[in-house]
């Protein structure tokens, strides 16, 4: 298999805190890879380094053969790595479709008309086409998460990093979101790295997961095996449960 996206020994220090400590992982073509771990483990920090929103203290990021370490986010996005944000903040003064068109215009290499067409196509794909001319404030949380996914898809990524797009929505919406994530891989051929606290979703979507705790990778493997790993149970629940 070919790695679409690869992290090699990524570390990030915030003052005295090692938010990521020598993290290596590899997202294969067509894979849905899970990055899990308790609150504060360093998952979003890892995503931020992969997507160019913060530079790593050390380590390297590769998109295919191309080293993209330390490039600014817009260049990383153009190269093909795009993340969604855990806390969704669309441009409130732009309509739903304008939010996506801006992303398409910045990253996809299409002209204005092409960008708008791609944006509309992605809104249709996530089920928000009818909402396209409204404003983000009129959307539910689940719809705003879909908008965030449509915005990311409008960049035409090779690797999509989904940061907790399911957590916080109701069970019916969560089930639909799982189906949507699977369709992104199956129908758009995009490789996906996802963080998620909703374990049922991880179990259903990911053939492989890596586990972070306090900035370090502590386990990797099939989700069913990993959740039985003593170190993983201890990371989530504390020592007495392990
Ligand atoms: N910009 C920052 N400055 C200082 N510390 C930070 C910064 N960003 C994150 N941290 C710290 O780094 C650690 C890892 O945070 P991160 O957000 O990556 O965790 P996470 O695994 O995504 O957690 P959650 O599951 O709650 O989203 C935490 O202790 C957090 O407080
Ligand atoms: Mg996070």
Which residue in the block uniquely carries the two structure tokens 């039985």? 228
Q: Which residue has the higher pLDDT, 50 or 230?
A: 50
CATH code for position 217: 3.40.50.300
Distance of CA 157 to the CA centre of its chain: 11
pLDDT confidence of residue 237: 80
| Domain-terminating residue out of 156, 178, 212 | 156
Given a cut of 80, is residue 2 above it in pLDDT? no
CB atoms within 10 A of CB 207: 11
Task: Looking at the structure, tell me whether residues 139 and 197 fall in a common domain.
Answer: no
Task: Looking at the structure, tell me whether residues 168 and 72 fall in a common domain.
Answer: yes
Task: Looking at the structure, tell me whether residues 225 and 199 fall in a common domain.
Answer: yes
Report the nearest-CA residue for atom 3 of ligand 1: 14
Strand-pair category, 81-83 with 17-28 = unpaired
CA of 1 to the centre of ligand 1 (A): 31
Which ligand sits closest to the CA of 236? 1
Over the stretch 139-180, which tens digit does the pLDDT of each residue have? 999 999 999 999 999 999 999 999 999 989 999 999 999 999
- 44 domain-assigned: yes
CA of 42 to the centre of ligand 1 (A): 5
Task: Looking at the structure, tell me whether residues 167 and 53 fall in a common domain.
Answer: yes
Among 153, 152, 155, 161, CA closest to 46: 161
Report whether residue 134 contacts ligand 1, using a CB cutoff of 6 Å.
no
Integer CA distances (angstroms), 155 to 20, 119, 149, 212, 240, in order:
27, 9, 10, 28, 46
Q: How far apart are CA 128 and CA 177, in angstroms?
A: 13
Count: domains in the chain: 2
Report whether residue 101 contacts ligand 1, using a CB cutoff of 6 Å.
no
- 147 domain-assigned: yes
pLDDT confidence of residue 239: 67
Task: Looking at the structure, tell me whether residues 150 and 182 fall in a common domain.
Answer: no
Q: How far apart are CA 219 and CA 209, in angstroms?
A: 8
Longest dimension (CA), the chain: 59
* Residue from 17, 20, 83 to probe ligand 1 pocket by mutation (most atoms less than 8 Å from CB): 17
Over the stretch 100-145, which tens digit does the pLDDT of each residue have? 999 999 998 899 999 999 999 999 999 999 999 999 999 999 999 9
Task: Looking at the structure, tell me whether residues 152 and 168 fall in a common domain.
Answer: no
Report whether residue 152 contacts ligand 1, using a CB cutoff of 6 Å.
no
Atom of ligand 1 nearest to the CA of 54: 1
Domain that holds residue 107: 90-156
CB atoms within 10 A of CB 74: 12
- 1 domain-assigned: yes
Task: Looking at the structure, tell me whether residues 197 and 235 fall in a common domain.
Answer: yes
Report whether residue 115 contacts ligand 1, using a CB cutoff of 6 Å.
no
Task: Looking at the structure, tell me whether residues 172 and 150 fall in a common domain.
Answer: no
Given a cut of 70, is residue 241 above it in pLDDT? no
- 85 domain-assigned: no
- Report the first-to-last Cα separation within the chain, whole angstroms: 34
Over the stretch 49-107, which tens digit does the pLDDT of each residue have? 999 999 999 999 999 999 999 899 999 999 999 999 988 889 999 999 999 999 999 99
Task: Looking at the structure, tell me whether residues 69 and 164 fall in a common domain.
Answer: yes
Task: Looking at the structure, tell me whether residues 143 and 71 fall in a common domain.
Answer: no
Report whether residue 44 contacts ligand 1, using a CB cutoff of 6 Å.
yes
Task: Looking at the structure, tell me whether residues 94 and 123 fall in a common domain.
Answer: yes
Among 98, 130, 125, 122, CA closest to 112: 98
Given a cut of 80, is residue 40 above it in pLDDT? yes
């Amino acid at each position: 298999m070919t790695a679409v996206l690869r992290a090699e020994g990524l570390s990030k220090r915030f003052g005295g805190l090692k938010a990521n400590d020598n993290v290596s992982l590899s997202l294969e073509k067509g894979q849905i890879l899970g990055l899990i771990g308790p609150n504060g483990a360093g998952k979003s920090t890892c995503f931020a380094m992969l997507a160019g929103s913060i530079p790593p203290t050390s380590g390297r990021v590769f998109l295919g053969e191309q080293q993209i370490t330390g490039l600014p986010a817009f260049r990383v996005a153009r190269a093909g790595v795009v993340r969604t944000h855990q806390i969704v903040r669309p441009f409130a003064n732009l309509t739903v479709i304008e939010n996506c068109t801006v992303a398409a215009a910045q990253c996809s290499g299409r002209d204005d008309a092409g960008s708008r067409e791609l944006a509309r196509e992605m809104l249709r794909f996530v089920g928000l086409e009818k909402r396209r001319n409204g404003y983000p404030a009129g959307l539910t949380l689940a719809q705003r998460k879909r908008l965030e996914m449509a915005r990311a898809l409008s960049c035409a990524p090779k690797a999509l990093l989904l940061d907790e797009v399911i957590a916080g929505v109701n069970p019916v919406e969560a089930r639909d979101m799982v189906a949507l994530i699977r369709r992104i891989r199956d129908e758009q051929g995009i490789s996906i790295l996802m963080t998620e606290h909703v374990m049922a979703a991880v179990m259903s979507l990911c053939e492989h997961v890596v586990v972070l705790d306090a900035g370090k990778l502590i386990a990797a493997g099939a989700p069913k095996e990993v959740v039985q790993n003593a170190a993983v149970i201890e990371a989530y629940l504390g020592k007495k449960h392990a």
